[in-house]
Every structure is written in C-alpha cells, then in structure tokens.
Amino acid sequence: MERITCMSLLLTAVVSSSARAPRQYHFVNQNLSWTEAQSYCREKYTDLFTISDIQEQNDIEQAIKRVNSNADRVWIGLKNTKVGFWSDPVFYTEQYRNWGSDQPGGDGDCVYMNCVNDHKGQWHDVDCNTTRHFICYNASKGFIIVQEQKNWTEAQKYCRESHTDLASVRNQSENEQIQKIIDQNKTSGDQDKRVWIGLHRLWVWSDNSTSTFTHWKPNNNNNNRETCTLIVISDEGQWTDEKCSEEHPFVCYDEKLVLVRENKTWTEALRRCRNMDMDLVSVDSEQMQQRVMNVTSSALSDHVWLGLRHSCTVGIWFWVNGQTVCYDQWASDYDIGLDECDQTVRSGAIRTHDNHWISLPETKEINFICIKYM
Ligand SMILES: *[C@@H]1O[C@H](CO)[C@@H](O)[C@H](O)[C@H]1NC(C)=O
Ligand SMILES: *[C@@H]1O[C@H](CO)[C@@H](O)[C@H](O)[C@H]1NC(C)=O
Ligand SMILES: *[C@@H]1O[C@H](CO)[C@@H](O)[C@H](O)[C@H]1NC(C)=O
Ligand SMILES: *[C@@H]1O[C@H](CO)[C@@H](O)[C@H](O)[C@H]1NC(C)=O
Ligand SMILES: *[C@@H]1O[C@H](CO)[C@@H](O)[C@H](O)[C@H]1NC(C)=O
Ligand SMILES: *[C@@H]1O[C@H](CO)[C@@H](O)[C@H](O)[C@H]1NC(C)=O
Ligand SMILES: *[C@@H]1O[C@H](CO)[C@@H](O)[C@H](O)[C@H]1NC(C)=O
C-alpha cells in the first residue's frame, strides 16, 4: 500500500507565489475559555488563529502589542489531545495501554516502552527529542527492533519508509512479544531496552490546519491533560500551554470565498485570483468543503476550478497553498485521463451537481473560487 503522509511541499518551481497570503486577524480583548473563544471566532469570523510560520508569529505579536499593551497571555488555535494516538492510521484509536505507575507524567509528547528487567514493558512519556532504539511494525513480518538511536519523529520516518509504521501495541500479548524481542539480546545495555513505540500526543489546530510550525518556550512541560496554547507577549511571544478552561483574550482570523462567475482556464483563474490579492481555494478540511459547496451552488458552469493541480512527474496532486491532498472528495472516476498527463496538464475542479472533485485538462474554461485570507 502506498503511504503518503500529509506534508508541506516546496513548490516554488511549480507555483509562482509560495507563502499563503496574509490573513486578517482580529484580536478580541475579552477573557474567555479556549472553547468559548473558538465558538466566538467561528461565529463572527472564520476560526481561532493558526500560526504557520515565523512571519505570522511576528505579525501577530506586533498586532497584539499595538492594539493593547496590557494583554499578555493570549489564546491561539492550538490544542492538544491526551497522550493517546498511534502513529499508524490503521490502529489510530486502539485503546490498550500499559502505563507505568504515575505515568504518563507529562514529560513529553512521545511514548517509550521500558523493557529493563523489573519494568515489565511499562510505558512512559518523554520528550520526543530524546534518542532511543525503536520498534517498527512490518505488515508482513510483525515487530522489528531497530538498533539505531533516533528521536521519535525520525524513528517514525524510518519505520514508514522501511516497514509499515512505528509499532502499535494493541494488547498484553503484543506487549509481551516486544519485550521478548528485546530480551533476546543479552548484551544490550539498559538504555537500549527503552524503545520508542508509536504512541504520541497530538497537537491539533482548531481549523484542522496541518501547519507544523511551533514556537514553544524551551522546556515547556505539557502535563497529561488537555491543554490549550497561549502566546506570552512578555516572554518574547513564546508559547506555553494551560488548562483550556482558563480565561484569556484571543485572536481570530477571517477569510472569505469569492466565486468568480467567468469562464477561465485553470492558469488564467490562478492569475486572476492572485491579481486580486487572493488565491485559488485549497480545500483541506470538511469545513472548507462545506463552505465551497455553499458558493458553488450559484456557479454558471457545471464544474468550478479549485486550487488543485496534478504533477505528472511526481504523480501526485497538490494544493496551490503547498499541501499534498489529505482530506479529499474525489469522485470515483476522478482519474480518467491521468495516464496521458504528460500531454495535457490536469487540474482539479468541483462538480456542481454532487460536489465531488474530478480532474480536467487545465485548458477547460470554467468558473473558479478565490479565497481571500483577509
Ligand atoms: C529529530 O531529529 C532531527 C534530526 O536530527 C531534527 O531535525 C528534528 O528537529 C528532531 N525532531 C524532534 C521532534 O525532536
Ligand atoms: C517488511 O520488511 C522488508 C525488509 O525486511 C521490506 O522489504 C518490506 O517492504 C516490509 N514490508 C512492509 C509491508 O513494510
Ligand atoms: C492481540 O491483538 C492481535 C491483533 O489484533 C490479535 O491477533 C491477537 O489475537 C490478540 N491477542 C490477544 C491475547 O488478545
Ligand atoms: C545487541 O545490542 C547491542 C547494543 O544495543 C548491539 O550493538 C548488538 O548488535 C545487538 N545484538 C544483536 C544480536 O542484535
Ligand atoms: C477537524 O477534523 C475533525 C476530525 O476529522 C472533524 O470532526 C472536525 O469537524 C474538523 N474541524 C473543522 C473545523 O474542520
Ligand atoms: C452559506 O451561505 C449563506 C449565504 O451567503 C450564509 O448565510 C451561510 O452561513 C453559509 N453557510 C455556510 C455553511 O457557510
Ligand atoms: C461558461 O461555460 C458554461 C459551460 O461550462 C456555459 O454554460 C456558460 O454560458 C459560460 N459562461 C460564460 C459567461 O461564458
């Protein structure tokens, strides 16, 4: 099975403008819990603010300082989950746990299994930067120990490239199976008996943005409870997390969809949007799909261009905002014509009668949707 993880691509060679256009943010100087702040933003604007790079981080800091010099701790749209998701999407929500006593202790977002003699394969959470040996899962061979020191993210990358994924442990017998594999090596030291498994805590943006930018205060310890993220202005804008029920001011952002009811080729449409300081829309969540459906209902063509482009060389679809396609609404027959993609560049459009996406030759002239990150 082909596994493409959600990622950001560097597409400067393919699309002319790289970073997303600046969005308009609204600082709301009212103390609300994170969840209330989220509702407020969704009602009045689009969502709580998502920070995708250092530029946006600096902009937002400056904006808060300008508007109100007293506000110090300000919610943004990042929230964590409990430690509790497996790296392998197939076993994402498997519930078996084998925590050691007082674990998870909030020392980090990644989990290792302790196979040192008396520890019975118990689990501990720790900083994902720590380097350890690790256990991959290989769909045809089972668990595989990799005796190389890697941090959790790199271990995950290694397992996904060479096997299936970092190991998910689904019951006591699988836990013992791993312990046995580790015990087989009589010469390995205690340190090498603490191995990464695929469990980790996930941080998610309120709008499901896949941004991986972070700006944590060093040694920010995330406790094992649901927490939400604050920018601390007096601490150089570094991020810290806190109980989501605490009340703080917050930042929302706003963006707007514009259906252009003119028939253009995909490239003309992209240029047209960008000339108006907008971009062709990237539909990377169910929420965005809903909003797009809402505007396509008044289109004058049967299909409407999205910011979706096919790369024949790499053989993948990507959004003009630089993301690969993770969320999708492809029609079952969307890929007709792709085998000849070296002759005609294909782009993606939404079909107005059922709102599924299909691939069309980019020279077709149809309506399109621009998005303004206000
Ligand atoms: C893991 O290691 C790589 C390479 O040394 C580094 O770039 C990355 O930031 C590390 N990631 C984490 C989460 O520690
Ligand atoms: C299992 O491991 C072998 C190498 O030992 C690798 O070639 C194969 O692709 C792996 N299978 C899966 C499903 O990851
Ligand atoms: C543990 O889980 C695996 C995979 O679901 C299953 O094949 C096995 O029978 C389970 N063992 C026990 C003892 O539940
Ligand atoms: C046992 O562990 C040591 C240290 O972790 C490693 O260097 C060695 O290759 C391992 N031996 C086997 C047979 O896997
Ligand atoms: C984010 O994704 C989750 C899980 O897929 C979904 O339930 C939720 O509605 C999404 N939120 C938004 C704002 O799109
Ligand atoms: C759809 O559009 C109408 C009119 O512009 C608006 O009132 C409504 O909130 C929109 N619904 C969604 C889900 O965006
Ligand atoms: C745009 O193309 C559609 C067919 O896809 C056609 O029905 C419509 O009249 C055209 N609109 C304009 C303004 O040319």
| Ligand with an atom nearest the CA of residue 39 | 5
Residue of 256, 285, 294 with the most ligand 6 atoms within 8 Å of its CB, for mutation: 294
Q: Residue of the nearest CA to atom 3 in ligand 4?
A: 188
3-state secondary structure 337-350: CHHHCCCCCEEEEE
Q: 298 CA to middle of ligand 7, Å?
A: 13
- Count of Cβ atoms closer than 10 Å to residue 163 Cβ: 20
- Cα-flanking dihedrals φ and ψ of residue 150, to 5°? -140, 155
Domains recognised in the chain with CATH numbers: 23-255 (3.10.100.10), 257-371 (3.10.100.10)
Of 228, 214, 229, the C-alpha closest to 153 is 214
User: Which ranges of the chain would DSSP assign to H, the alpha helix?
Assistant: 34-44, 54-67, 152-162, 172-183, 266-275, 286-296
What tokens were used for 4? 């493409």
Q: Residue of the nearest CA to atom 13 in ligand 4?
A: 185
Nearest atom (ligand 1) to Cα of 151: 1
301 in ligand 7 pocket by Cβ < 6 Å? yes
Spacing of C-alpha 295 from chain mean position: 26
Q: Residue of the nearest CA to atom 13 in ligand 3?
A: 173
Q: Residue of the nearest CA to atom 10 in ligand 6?
A: 294
Contacts of 233 by beta carbon, 8 Å cutoff, 6+ apart: 61, 64, 65, 71, 72, 73, 74
Handedness of CA 94, 99, 102, 105 (dihedral sign): negative
d(CA 357, CA 353) in angstroms, rounded, equals 11
Give me the tens of pLDDT residue by residue for the chain, a chain 374 residues long: 333 444 444 332 222 233 444 567 889 999 999 999 999 999 988 899 988 888 889 888 988 888 766 889 999 999 987 667 899 988 887 889 999 988 887 778 899 999 998 788 999 999 888 999 999 999 999 999 999 999 999 999 999 999 999 999 999 999 999 999 998 888 888 889 999 999 998 888 998 777 778 898 876 665 556 789 999 999 999 999 888 999 999 999 887 888 999 999 999 999 999 988 889 999 988 878 988 998 898 899 999 999 999 988 888 899 998 888 888 999 988 877 677 777 788 999 999 999 999 999 999 999 999 998 64
d(CA 39, CA 252) in angstroms, rounded, equals 10
| Ligand with an atom nearest the CA of residue 115 | 4
pTM, rounded to two decimals: 0.60
Under 8 Å between Cβ of 29 and 66:
no
User: Which residues line ligand 2 at a C-beta cut-off of 6 Å?
Assistant: 138-141, 163-164
What tokens were used for 233? 């202005």
What tokens were used for 147? 């005796």
Q: Residue of the nearest CA to atom 9 in ligand 2?
A: 163
Pairing mode, strands 203-205 and 73-80: antiparallel
263 in ligand 7 pocket by Cβ < 6 Å? yes
265 in ligand 7 pocket by Cβ < 6 Å? no
**C-alpha radius of gyration, the chain, whole number:** 23
Q: 186 CA to middle of ligand 1, Å?
A: 30
Nearest atom (ligand 4) to Cα of 147: 5
| Ligand with an atom nearest the CA of residue 264 | 7
- Count of Cβ atoms closer than 10 Å to residue 250 Cβ: 29
What tokens were used for 374? 């206000």
End-to-end Cα distance, the chain: 40
